[in-house]
């Protein structure tokens, strides 16, 4: 089926059915064109696609409107088709096929490499290309790791002089406990912006404010994979592309201030501080908690929405779901909670189509269905708490939005120290100097000194708002930010 046929057919199907028409057990994710699945060579029947996501057949009461980000067209693209000219190598490489036709998501092939299990660098690389100007550009990577069990980290290098000079982005460090942006057997899209650059070598440097010494003259690129020395890793590279970066939409970047868990202190302490700057936030709410104990009431939520422009989004319906997180549930249980949450929001006058995963967990359900795929049945975006790189316009994967969490002004309580956000060369400097979509995830606000990493003091929140205001960075809710690009 052609893309045009698929688009035409999707208009007459439910949103969920449309999601299921894209490849072997796959879903196309706007903004980056990533797919969950193995290939696009075969188009399965609807019944097979249903089975691939756990047989969820009950339609959502409120399906998302489809206001998703436009796909950003590449200004330069390497899709690893015949005669691409890139080479696989490195002391960590055991075997490679530069023209692998067994698994791909574009064209008829991709590059396949298997590491040797020594923890050393394996790469797909090309040097001596026509020089690229990266001003106003970001890098888009499309790749897949067959099994992440022995994955350690992923790094991208861009430079000149056969990489004697380079900038590098360490864009994924694999966790054995937390949710990972890169999961087994999935095609993943990653955007790398100048705000995310991690190191420089040779004649290149990064300023104290986080800005690169140059954005032009790049002739060399290298996609590098490191296993954990516990066994080999097979990875597949499908595309390295340059696309317009966030600065083309927001020259000074943009910040979204989000709060999880519906704490009453968001209304009592955070709202007055943010009102004084004219800022609105996004609250990801637990429906079951509303109106109980130290949590927001429906009246407070409506007041914040109607008179201060706040967005009331979703976090979970049941308290028990929030405590357990969706990967502990079956697909049917997760889908039911999503459905009830959206019904509750709409029924109480809250039209947000945006969601945040409890504990940032979007892995598979207990019966093996990707939680982010279930989320797409009910919401337009879903936010994680992954911050290896900061979010971009358009988001690479809208159901894995990245956010910086644990921001606090305490001492010795973990999380992210406020100074790492507001200090020289911190996240706000990088945002305003290089452009990105910096999503901040906060929880509870306290009058005094915070005791845990999920608390921020009122004084700390005030300092954070002032730091944003001093830099002239626009503050938008998640809904507003997405609308700016759709």
> Which segments of 113-267 does DSSP mark as H helices, in order?
265
Is 263 a residue whose pLDDT tops 50? yes
Residues near 164 by beta carbon (within 8 Å), at least 6 away in sequence:
201, 202
Per-residue model confidence (pLDDT) at position 358:
98
Is 71 a residue whose pLDDT tops 80? yes
Q: 3-state secondary structure string, 344-410?
A: HHHHCCCCCCEEECHHHCCCECCCCCEHHHHHCCCCCEEECCCCCCCECCCCCCHHHECCEECEECC
List the structure tokens of 234: 């097979």
Strand partners for 370: 364
Is 43 a residue whose pLDDT tops 90? no
Query: Which tens digits make up the pLDDT trace of 302-330?
Result: 999 999 999 999 999 999 999 999 999 99
Is 17 a residue whose pLDDT tops 50? no
The pLDDT of 55-83, averaged and rounded, is: 88
Per-residue model confidence (pLDDT) at position 302:
98
Residue with tokens 């979007």, as numbered in its chain = 362
Is 267 a residue whose pLDDT tops 70? yes
Per-residue model confidence (pLDDT) at position 295:
98
Vertex 238, ends 232 and 242: CA angle to 5°?
125
Is 38 a residue whose pLDDT tops 50? no
Q: What is the pTM of this model?
A: 0.89
Per-residue model confidence (pLDDT) at position 68:
66
Categorize the per-residue pLDDT at 476 as very low, low, confident or very high, splitting at 50, 70 and 90: very high
The DSSP bridge pattern shows strands 311-316 and 282-286 to be parallel
- Residue 450 CA to residue 446 CA, distance in Å, equals 6
Categorize the per-residue pLDDT at 53 as very low, low, confident or very high, splitting at 50, 70 and 90: low
* Cβ atoms 473, 255 nearer than 8 A: yes
Is 300 a residue whose pLDDT tops 70? yes
Per-residue model confidence (pLDDT) at position 59:
87
Phi, psi (deg, nearest 5) at residue 372: -65, -30
The pLDDT of 227-251, averaged and rounded, is: 96
Residues near 179 by beta carbon (within 8 Å), at least 6 away in sequence:
357, 359, 360, 361, 362, 363, 384, 385, 386
* Cβ atoms 371, 328 nearer than 8 A: no
Categorize the per-residue pLDDT at 428 as very low, low, confident or very high, splitting at 50, 70 and 90: very high
Per-residue model confidence (pLDDT) at position 128:
98
- Residue 441 CA to residue 256 CA, distance in Å, equals 9
Is 407 a residue whose pLDDT tops 90? yes
56-60, 162-166, 376-380: lowest mean pLDDT where? Answer: 56-60
Categorize the per-residue pLDDT at 274 as very low, low, confident or very high, splitting at 50, 70 and 90: very high
- Residue 92 CA to residue 78 CA, distance in Å, equals 23
Query: Which tens digits make up the pLDDT trace of 341-361?
Result: 999 999 999 999 999 999 999
* Cβ atoms 15, 63 nearer than 8 A: yes
């Amino acid at each position: 089926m052609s893309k045009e046929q698929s688009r035409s057919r999707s208009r007459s199907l439910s949103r969920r059915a449309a999601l299921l028409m894209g490849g072997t057990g796959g879903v196309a994710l706007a903004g980056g064109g990533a797919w969950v699945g193995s290939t696009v060579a075969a188009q399965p029947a609807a019944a097979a696609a249903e089975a691939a996501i756990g047989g969820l057949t009950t339609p959502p009461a409120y399906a998302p409107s489809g206001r998703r980000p436009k796909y950003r067209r590449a200004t330069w693209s390497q899709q690893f088709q015949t005669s691409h000219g890139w080479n696989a190598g490195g002391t960590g490489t055991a075997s490679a096929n530069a023209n692998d036709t067994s698994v791909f998501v574009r064209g008829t092939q991709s590059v396949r490499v298997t590491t040797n299990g020594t923890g050393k660098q394996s790469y797909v690389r090309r040097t001596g290309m026509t020089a690229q100007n990266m001003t106003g550009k970001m890098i888009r990577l499309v790749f897949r790791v067959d099994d992440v069990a022995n994955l350690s980290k992923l790094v991208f290098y861009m430079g000149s002089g056969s990489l004697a000079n380079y900038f590098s982005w360490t864009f994924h460090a694999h966790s054995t406990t937390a949710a990972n942006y890169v999961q087994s057997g999935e095609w993943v899209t990653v955007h790398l912006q100048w705000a995310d650059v991690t190191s420089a070598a040779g004649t290149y440097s990064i300023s104290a404010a986080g800005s690169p010494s140059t954005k032009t003259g790049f002739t060399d690129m290298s996609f590098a994979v490191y296993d954990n020395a516990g066994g080999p890793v097979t990875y597949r590279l499908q595309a390295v592309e340059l696309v317009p970066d966030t600065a083309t939409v927001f020259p000074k970047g943009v910040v979204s201030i989000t709060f999880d868990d519906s704490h009453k202190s968001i209304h009592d302490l955070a709202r007055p501080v943010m009102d004084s700057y004219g800022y609105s936030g996004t609250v990801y709410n637990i429906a079951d908690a509303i109106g109980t104990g130290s949590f927001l009431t429906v009246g407070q939520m409506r007041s914040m929405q109607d008179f201060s422009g706040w967005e009331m989004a979703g976090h979970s319906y049941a308290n028990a779901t929030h405590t357990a997180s969706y990967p502990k549930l079956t697909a049917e249980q997760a889908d039911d909670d999503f459905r009830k949450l959206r019904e509750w929001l709409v029924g109480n006058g809250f039209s947000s189509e945006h969601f945040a995963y409890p504990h940032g967990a979007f892995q598979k359900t207990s019966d093996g269905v990707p939680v982010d795929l279930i989320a797409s049945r009910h919401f337009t975006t879903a936010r994680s708490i992954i911050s290896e790189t900061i979010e971009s316009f358009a988001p690479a994967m809208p159901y894995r939005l990245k956010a910086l969490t644990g921001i606090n002004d305490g001492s010795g309580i973990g999380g992210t120290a406020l100074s790492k956000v507001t200090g020289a060369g911190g996240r706000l400097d990088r945002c305003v100097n290089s452009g990105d979509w910096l999503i901040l995830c906060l929880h509870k606000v306290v009058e005094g000194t915070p005791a845990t990493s999920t608390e921020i003091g009122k004084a700390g929140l005030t300092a954070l708002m002032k730091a944003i205001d001093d830099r002239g960075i626009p503050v938008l809710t998640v809904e507003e930010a997405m609308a700016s690009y759709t």
